Structure 1
Amino acid sequence: MRQQVLRGAQSRGAQKVVNPQALKNSLAQSLVAGLPGPEASAEDLALVAREGLGGVILFARNVQSPAQVWQLNYDLRRAAAQAERPPLFTMVDQEGGSVARLHAPFSDGPDMAALGRGEAADLGAFGARLGRELAAAGFNWDLAPVLDVHAVAGGVMARRSLGGDPRRVAALGAAFIEGMQAAGCLACAKHFPGLGRTTADTHKERPFVSLSRQELAAVELVPFRAAAAAGVAGVMICHAVYAALDPERPASLSPRVIQDLLRGELGFQGLVLSDDVEMGAVAGHMDPAQAVVEAYLAGCDLVLVCHRPELALAALERLVELALAGEIAPALIAQKTRRIIQLKQGLEPLPPELGVLQRVLAENQARA
């Protein structure tokens, strides 16, 4: 199946005739959808088995208990495996404190702001602890850590940031990343290129950041450079507009931010993720399905649609139509698909047995 996905993405460059299903298989790998409830419905299973979406993301609405969330992840990953799809990304926002989808007996921990007062070893241990629990629960990707440098009074990231010193945030974030990924769960640095100096919430509105390139390089970009050097699997792009980088488009839809800055100047080689396109910063300005297309074309390898899976499917159909019409370069599709498949080759198709989760949670509680 992995070979079929890659062949489908590359076929336009070698042949005049395109296999629409193989093309759809490739494009679908770039979509991550949120699900409505705590059990995998027939529609949910079809998203990963029939439609071949690359990943799912779970929220509090999907979680009732450790055994239940393990079963949900197991059912989704098994559906992908039985359909001979590449391993499914199963994502969650488990930052700690105010942003934690899993609570006791999981380690939800304090806010990142509190963790930021500790040492790098503490963050590494916390990342490893979370990573073991998440991997045992069937997750293979935690959308953490937050690397926004909190540098303004009333900043929207005050509780979620590791602090206001960019070098310290860089060191702590890198330790968290290394601990988590060594424990078997991918990490994602966010929210590039940095939301630490805005008071506007992208869930509701589109922030406009007027910092110069020099100011961004001296503060905001420092932790992301460290994350890239630490081998972080992914970087999430935010929906703010940065006047010095691209005054007309939010970062998540901007080739200047993603391709020129993140890929070019920072040399990041991992996967690029969009933030949720259903947030007000995007959905309040344009059709979210079109935003999926624009994020894909701008350089995002994975585009998150966190609330309405039907929107993800509509966006997939739009991507397929554009690709069949020759409006998306075959080389671009092949490049994105190759990155995704290469990362997935290191993932297990199925979670460990439920007993592993029960043992990990018991051990972590005993150490607390």
Structure 2
Amino acid sequence: MLALKNHAAVTSESRALIIGGGAFLILGVAGLLLVGREPVALSGRGSVGDIAALGTAVLGAAAAVIGSLQRRGPEPSRVPEAGRTRNIVDVTALALAHASIFLLGWLALFAIFQQAFVGAVLYPLAGAIIVGTTGAVSAYTAYLSAVTMNAYRLAALLAVFLVAGILTSMLTAEDPQWWQEHLSALGMTSDVSGVTFNVTLIVAGVVVTTLAGYSTKTLAWQANTASSRRRVRLLEGGIVLIGILLACVGLFPVDERFGLHTLAASGMVLVFGTLIVRMRALVPSMPATFNALGLVFLAVIAFAVLMYFPFGYYNLTAVELIAASLVFAWLIVLIRNLAAVDADQLDANPPARRQFQRTEAGRRPAAPGQDKSTTEP
């Protein structure tokens, strides 16, 4: 068997196992202390599900931060102030996204288990073991997700997070007729539904700003003229602006800040439309099929608005759902297409690909025993 020259993947798996084991012990002991001496339910207030969801949110976020720091570099003293600030935002976005997914996911899963095992309870030791297991699985997954994060994975993470957050808000809404007003009505209350809706939008907005950096990283590295660098900055700025406006939609609930809420939501659609129209000029190598898809999405949104305002064919919730779904679908497809363009361009230029990989390798700590000066793709 040939000896491995680069043990980075093996090292990451070993670290993930250690982090998962530590999470099992921490959350298992915490679960044993919180459960007490009496049997406990699978779901509901004070249940194993609640302890597991809250614990995995904290430990999952911590594991995501550790994984992000393992992947990033160089040393803080050598990073410009703007770069350090952007790194902090990126790491925070990843941590919040993972924490929210674990929180919502485990709550939903334990609620399903409770319905499957009606009346079932867990004894303290069994409950602590289950809680510890959820912590191990979550921390292990979060670490590996963060340490191997790229544009493809981050786009998928955003999609999962948005769907989980919005569906949770809909299912926990106290008013079953919320949809008769508008989608933003979900964020008008201070209950679990309202908090989940607004926090989902805020965190998703921060994740979108992180996506901007991931998706334009290779384009920025390859830009060798003033005009190409300007195009990359405009594209990245447009994606960042969508993220900021999305976060503002959650920060300013419609019942408290109607003007700011409406301005942010409308501005997001406006920036979305501008990027679609200018995409061919911003990224000339973007596939024609993607550019056509963007124009189709824009036309569908315009048609949906037209059917609502003059004709009243359906309510505002339907328009908002159509617009939001298409904006996020386009954004996720954009990230994947940019990553595909980057991959094709680097594959077509092997020297550039090796140089780019060496540059990326220099930004993260080498694995034990690995000499970065001799790293080969």
Q: TM-score, normalised by structure 2?
A: 0.25
Larger Rg: 2
Q: TM-score, normalised by structure 1?
A: 0.25
The structure whose residues are more often helix, as a share, is 2
The structure whose residues are more often strand, as a share, is 1
